[in-house]
Amino acid sequence: MNLEAHLSELAVPEAAAFRAVIDRLRTLPEREPSADLTGRILAAVDSDRGRRRSDPPWVHAPWWVAAAAMAAGLLAIVTLFAPPARRGTGPSPEMRLAWLAASQERDGSWDPLRHGGDAAYRPALTALSALALAQNPKGYAENIRRACDALTALQTGDGAFGGTGRALYYNQAITTYALAALRPQRPELKPALERAVGFMRARQTAEGGWDYEAGSEGNAAITAWQVRALACAAEQGVGGANVPLRKGLRWLRGSTRDDGSVAYHRGSGARSESLTALAAYALITAGKAFPELPPVGQHAASSLKVHPDARAGADCYRDYAKVLAFEAVGESRRADAVRGRMLKRQEIGEDDQWENVGGRLYTTALTALVAKR
Amino acid sequence: MDDQLTETDDAALMSKVRRDDDRDAFAVLVKRHQKMLLNFFARSGVQYDCEDLVQQTFLRVYRYRDRYVATAKFTTFLFLLARQVWIDELRRRKRYERLVDGLAAEPHPEFAAPDAADAVASGGMDLARALAALPDGLRQVVELGVYQELPYAEISEIMKIPVGTVKSRMFNALAKLRAFLEKE
């Protein structure tokens, strides 16, 4: 049986009415795939072929096998630059950094597509990987220098780092933040930083937020990241960052509800632990010059749970944001609890919900950024 | 790309992918079916991430290529995987955006589809939104029966429901859309 046979079983008037509905449905406009969609799909499949080979060794092997496999390559680094690794607790911070360094591309960037992620986030993943390596700035100075060169090479004349839609805004904020955070070691990055801030200023909504959706006054996730980047840029003396920073902070404050929670959009009934944590961290740290803002951030942080609901799976983004928020309010024990769970999940290779965005690079970089060294 | 490949049927192309890991054969399958899949997700109410979902579906086609049986229609296999990608995506989004204290989860903005009853009540809403607002089980039957013109037996296989249920869902879906059009 098919649709036509089904219709023929119905009373004639009913069948005619349904045929009219079907005709209308079939005349609805269809979407055309982007010109590069086939190429992106094939690249993702190519990446998948090699993915298991490129995964960090602790994902597929017991600790002692991974340690043995990496021992030769890591020995010099561990001996020269790092304290001894802890025993029996999965990959050490040094192993993560060594894997990130080994995964850097020849042009200095990191390619999420080669690790199960989306190529559109190459700038953001390069920035996060470089930030992670900056935890050992002497040991990875050359890697960081190459990463900064790759990021500035990606920047276009208008100050953007690339991507479209949401990728554009995450790339912009995370890359700007990384360049600002790394600038003490690279003063020559200031012109790139100024252009990046100029782009962010131009894209800010009248209400003070940022969003990739036309007509929106702001999206809390994207706004919290821009605020973080602008605060870091302002600290590095980029004067153009101050005004959009103040407007962004005001938007975040206005998006924090009475119970301390924050949703993607104002007026939404949803709550998100990730966004609440990101906003809390931004209000406490980026808003420290404005006395009324840190208490709002502290209130938001106090609404966070240490343990996510049982139904919530691995989410490195959420855990990273919560560690930042708990540490910003001085709650080390709560931060350690979240950090411990995050490390455990990466140790056992649990699938993270952001794998298809950032691949193994993302989980490794974010875990490295919160891991205690 | 080999011109001969573009004229090869889906089952033969999948055999090449399975047997020889043939990239060109896979590329032909992608080109041939990507638009259909894109619109499958678009009609589900996805605004921004359709192409990501298409990519995930083809990635699964590749990963699960050994499970494809040449006697079955490739589109059945493809839609089975597309449907699973869609379900996984909904679950992921619902985990991420959950209302406080056990209230029903609000979909991620990209997936926001109006409530079915509201959709029908709203005269200003166009047919595409009314379609997207149908419950998943009804909309997918429309997608597979109306747009893909699949036999009900094949829809039954993809959705893992009896043929009788396919019929009743198709009837209900068309009746709801008809009611919407009559209110327009």
Beta bridge partners of residue A314, listed in sequence order: A352
Residue with tokens 């790139």: A192
Higher pLDDT, A56 or A44: A44
Query: For chain A, what are the domain ranges?
Result: 91-370
- Could you read off the pLDDT tens digit of each residue along chain B, which spans 184 residues? 566 777 789 999 999 999 998 999 999 999 999 999 999 988 887 766 788 889 889 989 998 898 888 777 898 899 999 998 888 777 766 554 443 233 333 333 333 333 433 433 443 347 888 888 888 889 999 999 999 899 999 999 888 899 999 999 999 999 999 998 887 6
User: Is the pLDDT assigned to residue A36 strictly greater than 60?
Assistant: yes
| Residue A200 · residue A222 · CB < 8 Å | no
| Residue A319 · residue A306 · CB < 8 Å | no
Domains and CATH numbers, chain B: 1-112 (1.10.1740.10), 114-184 (1.10.10.10)
| Residue A55: per-residue pLDDT | 56
Q: How far is CA B149 from the centre of its chain?
A: 13
Position A30 confidence tier, pLDDT thresholds 50, 70, 90: confident
Query: CA torsion, points A216, A326, A173, A255, in degrees to nearest 10?
Result: 20
CATH 1.50.10.20 fits A91-370, yes or no: yes
Contacts of A58 (CB under 8 A, 6+ apart): A66, A90, A91, A95, A346, A347, A349
Residue from the list A25, A45, A313 with its beta carbon closest to the beta carbon of B127 = A25
Q: What is the mean pLDDT of residues A265-292?
A: 88
Higher pLDDT, A344 or B107: A344
Q: What are φ and ψ of residue B112, in 5° steps?
A: -65, 115
Contacts of B29 (CB under 8 A, 6+ apart): B10, B13, B14, B17, B58, B61, B74
The ipTM value here is: 0.80
Position A308 confidence tier, pLDDT thresholds 50, 70, 90: low
**CA gap A134, A303 in Å, rounded:** 31
Closest residue of chain A to B180, computed from CA coordinates: A21
Closest residue of chain A to B131, computed from CA coordinates: A25
Residue from the list B21, B34, B167 with its beta carbon closest to the beta carbon of A38 = B34
Q: Which of residues 320-339 of A touch B (CB under 8 A)?
A: none
Q: Could A261 and B167 be called an inter-chain contact, meaning their C-beta atoms sit closer than 8 Å?
A: no
Q: Could A38 and B27 be called an inter-chain contact, meaning their C-beta atoms sit closer than 8 Å?
A: yes
DSSP A27: T
How many other C-beta atoms lie within 10 A of the C-beta of residue A339? 21
Helices then strands, counting H and E runs in chain A, come out as 17, 0
User: Which residues of chain B are within 8 Å of residue A49 when distances are taken between CB atoms?
Assistant: 21
pLDDT tens-digit map of A124-143:
999 999 999 999 988 999 99
Read off the tokens for A108: 């200095």
Contacts of B164 (CB under 8 A, 6+ apart): none
| Residue A177 · residue A184 · CB < 8 Å | no
Please tell me the least confidently modeled range out of A154-168, A194-208, A252-266, B103-117: B103-117
Three-class SS state of A271: strand
Residue A257, Cβ density class (10 Å: 0-12 exposed, 13-18 middle, ≥19 buried): middle
Measure B17 CA to nearest chain A CA, in Å: 12
Beta bridge partners of residue B98, listed in sequence order: A271
Q: What are φ and ψ of residue A189, in 5° steps?
A: -80, -10
Q: What is the mean pLDDT of residues A39-59?
A: 67
Measure B81 CA to nearest chain A CA, in Å: 15
**CA gap A233, A54 in Å, rounded:** 34
Would an 8 Å CB–CB cutoff place A32 in contact with chain B?
yes
What sign does the dihedral B181-B182-B183-B184 (CA atoms) show? Answer: positive
Q: What is the radius of gyration, based on Cα positions, of chain B? A: 18
Contacts of B52 (CB under 8 A, 6+ apart): A118, A356
Q: Could B151 and A28 be called an inter-chain contact, meaning their C-beta atoms sit closer than 8 Å?
A: no
Nearest C-alpha neighbor of A315 from the set A263, A278, A364, A363: A363
Residue from the list A21, A165, A264 with its beta carbon closest to the beta carbon of B181 = A21
Three-class SS state of A314: strand
Identify residue A189 by its one-letter amino acid code. L
| Residue A5: per-residue pLDDT | 92
Q: Could B30 and A41 be called an inter-chain contact, meaning their C-beta atoms sit closer than 8 Å?
A: yes
